[in-house]
Structure 1
Amino acid sequence: MEKMKLLVIGAGGREFAIAKKLNESPHVDTVYCAPGNIGMVTAGIVPLNIEEDDFEALIQFAKDQQIAWTFVGPEDALCAGIVDAFQKAGLKIFGPNQEAAQLEGSKDYALNFMNEYHVPTAKHETFTDLKSALAGLNDFARPVVIKANGLQGGKGVVIAQTTPEAEDTITEMFELGEEKLVLEECLVGPEYSMFVVVQDDQYRILPMAQDHKRAYDGDKGPNTGGMGAYSPLPQLSDAERQRMIDDVVEPTVSGLHQAGYNYHGIIYIGLMLTAAGPKVIEYNVRLGDPETQVVLPRLQTDLVELIDANVNDRPMPAIEERDIAVLGVILASKGYPKKPVHGQALGSFPAAKDIAIDYANVKGHLDELHGDGGRLLMVIGEDADLQKAQDKVYDYLAKLDEPECFYRHDIGDKALKN
């Protein structure tokens, strides 16, 4: 395999982790990231001044630089048809086409797919107007899950505990312009993230992780895009994981093939392990943020060899995992997710043994970074032992002086307390 130039689309912590992992491969010459962020230069990645939705400029860059293939990070670009545009231009790209991306772009579309291909999920119903949605509440117990149909950056889900809260949420969502809402029964059980690399009817499963969606300790506060993650999952038995594969992954991949998507990309499966077995909470059509930042360091298999085989329709290598624990905690702007502070001085982040920083919403210069709203970066620790990885991360965070930021203090506790 000749040394190749690669392009990653996106700007956040997920894209930082993808580009960094690709750049570790001996098969790589240069990894570009469009638009990327200033922190990426710490990992030898080259940010580009091209926005992720400027398909014409991205295609021109890929042609001019003879990019071997492009890896798409964010869902917005996938749902907007970046894969279709690149393929039309004769370029290789990793990610599902616009039609298949509706599995994330529309909750209703995803649920219809699950129904069609017998993938277990929650009891659900879709509504297109306020009156019928309010009436439909009668068919669901409390708490009830209310989901905006379209892309919401991981924040368009409300678990309403009472009828007045449910009615207010539904009314507000329709007033904000949502055309469809989904009501779902509230499933109970631990939640896990499974990432499947799909090549039409073939697949490989990456190391699993657990995300923490709520803003504050103890799973309190509003839903966010994720406040931290860890891998592996010592509390998940081999038998439980195998049941997830049999009951969920197999019918999902079979359905993607039968539906004729010719799917080449990631399908993320958000799973809840209920008393009745695993059920799907949601599909994403890309790697998750923040799980990517803890999953990819655990990957022994060369990511470049895996994706190169996928986009060129060669047999994908088997997935080998490093026997280490990785835990990451997000440092977010005060006020996130509703009204995050912008522009706060962050200073610089000192190097520490077995600690990595994956930057996301930062700007400025490496020796004087400023926050750019939302989730700013992730502090990641690795060790042979999950407890030690957790200790390393929180020891590092405790030494920082960031009054206009916050983080959760309990990432990993669900594994360690079991």
Structure 2
Amino acid sequence: MNILVLGSGGREHAFTHKLLESKKIDKLYVAPGNAGTNEIATNIAINPTDFEAVKKIVLEHNINMVVVGPEAPLVEGVHDFFLSDEELKSIPVIGPKKDGALLEGSKDFSKQFMEKHNIPTAKYQSFTSETLEEGYVFLETLNPPFVLKADGLAAGKGVLILEDIQEAKAELKEMLTNQKFGAASATVVIEEFLKGIELSVFVLTDGKSYKVLPSAKDYKRIGEGDTGLNTGGMGAISPVPFADNDFLTKVEDRVIKPTIDGLQKDGIDYRGFVFIGLMNVAGDPFVIEYNVRMGDPETEVVLPRIESDLLELFEGVATQTLSDKSFSVIDKTATTVMLVSGGYPEAYEKGKEITGLEAVEGSLVFHAGTKNEDNKVVTNGGRVIAITSFGETIEEALKTSYNNINKISFDKINYRKDIGFDLTK
């Protein structure tokens, strides 16, 4: 089979790496890809949301399946585009259609979905510029901190958690009337704050049955001890120690089953990943958010732990025979640490040469923001490289990752030295 993976980050490099384990792969293409995918597959320089360009590649290279990495093409309807095109409609797309992608594309939609299907989540209300005053009144009913979420996609930056009520009101006005996050904040969801510890659970579904993938916890803040600005993710660990069988049974019964059943009841034919962001509140799972694709950097610890043939699983998704596919997971801990550009998540420079990658031993190197330039690998983003390692314990896996990080260098390299700090106390 010839496969096309859409995307350019660490997630897509991890997909590419995992798919190549399958004996069914003939050719693997990544669009646009990065320096890491370029070493093991064929990169094609197009924008994944340019669907006509995607079509051209699919027909030129006799692509048999498209795997969508990031959320933007899904929310913009790449799957629907394929189904509505005579030349493309028989080619399976791994990722939901536009109606299912609303779970991530609209916070308001996803909260309504949870409420409708009795899925535990924080109490909330949604507001627009016309109902700004009502938003102020709702804030008064909540205890701090106050959670404000832009309804639409805001590149992971549309969530504010604020301690002061006056600041929360000012930010609400900024989001609704001054379009702080552009069209994404034309509607804002205000939520009660859930106190607990976060984790993510990932599900692969064919719309009828599902497989529960390994749990993971990522670290969003730039600074040690979870301080400083939010990022796309500075590292991740899988499995999550406190997510034992009892807790995961609650997640399956209270969240996963009602989510998959709810999609069916609502007539949404959902084929792809459901990323469920959870809060463990005193042993009970509450949903913070849905994403309609795998997370990054969680993919870099989840996929390496899967023993099964990923392409076989994707074929099961496409043909709605996922329940017939075998699924097993390695009983080891995986950790990943993200190397980022100096200045990230604010202004940073690109084009810095990366050295020492060939010296890495005993870890997987997943490229995120890299490209090839003049026979060198250079930085091309805020998050640059993820170093993933296995161990019997979190500490053992992290030790391997950090030992290998010491061999890698680029100008103004930055990374967190405390990934997993809250799980290893």
Amino acid at match of 1:157: V
Q: Answer yes or no: is the 8 Å Cα contact 1:39–1:366 preserved in 2.
A: no
Equivalent position of 2:172 in the other structure: 170
The structure 2 residue matched to 1:416, chosen from 392, 414, 424, is 424
- Shift, 1:366, TM fit: 8.5
Q: Answer yes or no: is the 8 Å Cα contact 1:23–1:30 preserved in 2.
A: no
- Shift, 1:263, TM fit: 0.7
Aligned length: 413
Q: Distance in 1 between matches of 2:158 and 2:369?
A: 20
Q: Distance in 1 between matches of 2:379 and 2:417?
A: 21
Q: Distance in 2 between matches of 1:205 and 1:393?
A: 26
The structure 2 residue matched to 1:302, chosen from 299, 303, 309, is 309
Please state if 1:82 is matched with 2:78: yes
Q: Answer yes or no: is the 8 Å Cα contact 1:332–1:405 preserved in 2.
A: yes
Q: Distance in 2 between matches of 1:334 and 1:378?
A: 15
**C-alpha RMSD of matched pairs (Å):** 1.7
Amino acid at match of 2:73: A
Percent identity of equivalent pairs: 38
- Shift, 1:238, TM fit: 0.9
Equivalent position of 1:111 in the other structure: 111
Equivalent position of 1:390 in the other structure: 398
The structure-2 alpha-carbon separation of the partners of 1:402 and 1:54, relative to structure 1 and needing over 3 Å to count, comes to same
The structure-2 alpha-carbon separation of the partners of 1:367 and 1:116, relative to structure 1 and needing over 3 Å to count, comes to same
Please state if 1:230 is matched with 2:245: no
Q: Answer yes or no: is the 8 Å Cα contact 2:122–2:287 preserved in 1.
A: yes
Q: Answer yes or no: is the 8 Å Cα contact 1:38–1:365 preserved in 2.
A: no
Amino acid at match of 1:80: E
- Shift, 1:335, TM fit: 2.1
Equivalent position of 1:33 in the other structure: 30
Amino acid at match of 1:10: G
Q: Which runs of 5+ in 1 are unaligned?
A: none
Amino acid at match of 1:359: H
Equivalent position of 1:52 in the other structure: 48
Equivalent position of 1:357 in the other structure: 365
Amino acid at match of 1:271: L
Please state if 1:282 is matched with 2:289: yes
Q: Answer yes or no: is the 8 Å Cα contact 1:229–1:327 preserved in 2.
A: yes
Q: Distance in 2 between matches of 1:404 and 1:34?
A: 28
Please state if 1:262 is matched with 2:269: yes
Q: Distance in 1 between matches of 2:112 and 2:413?
A: 40
The structure 1 residue matched to 2:255, chosen from 238, 245, 248, is 248
The structure 1 residue matched to 2:340, chosen from 332, 338, 363, is 332
Q: Answer yes or no: is the 8 Å Cα contact 2:275–2:294 preserved in 1.
A: yes
Amino acid at match of 1:19: T
Q: Answer yes or no: is the 8 Å Cα contact 1:347–1:367 preserved in 2.
A: no
Equivalent position of 2:64 in the other structure: 68
Please state if 1:11 is matched with 2:17: no
The structure-2 alpha-carbon separation of the partners of 1:21 and 1:199, relative to structure 1 and needing over 3 Å to count, comes to same
Superposed counterparts of 1:183-222, under 5 Å? 183-222=190-229
Amino acid at match of 1:95: G
Equivalent position of 1:323 in the other structure: 331
Q: Judge which range, 58-67 or 264-273, deviates more.
A: 58-67
Q: Judge which range, 306-315 or 8-17, deviates more.
A: 306-315
1:44-92 CA distances to partner (integer Å, 9 max, x unpaired)? 1211122201211212221232222111011000001000111223121
Equivalent position of 2:127 in the other structure: 127
Q: Answer yes or no: is the 8 Å Cα contact 2:215–2:243 preserved in 1.
A: no
1:160-200 CA distances to partner (integer Å, 9 max, x unpaired)? 12223323322332312421111111111111111111111
Q: Which runs of 5+ in 2 are unaligned?
A: none
Q: Judge which range, 182-191 or 86-95, deviates more.
A: 86-95
Q: Distance in 1 between matches of 2:2 and 2:377?
A: 28
Q: Distance in 1 between matches of 2:49 and 2:259?
A: 29
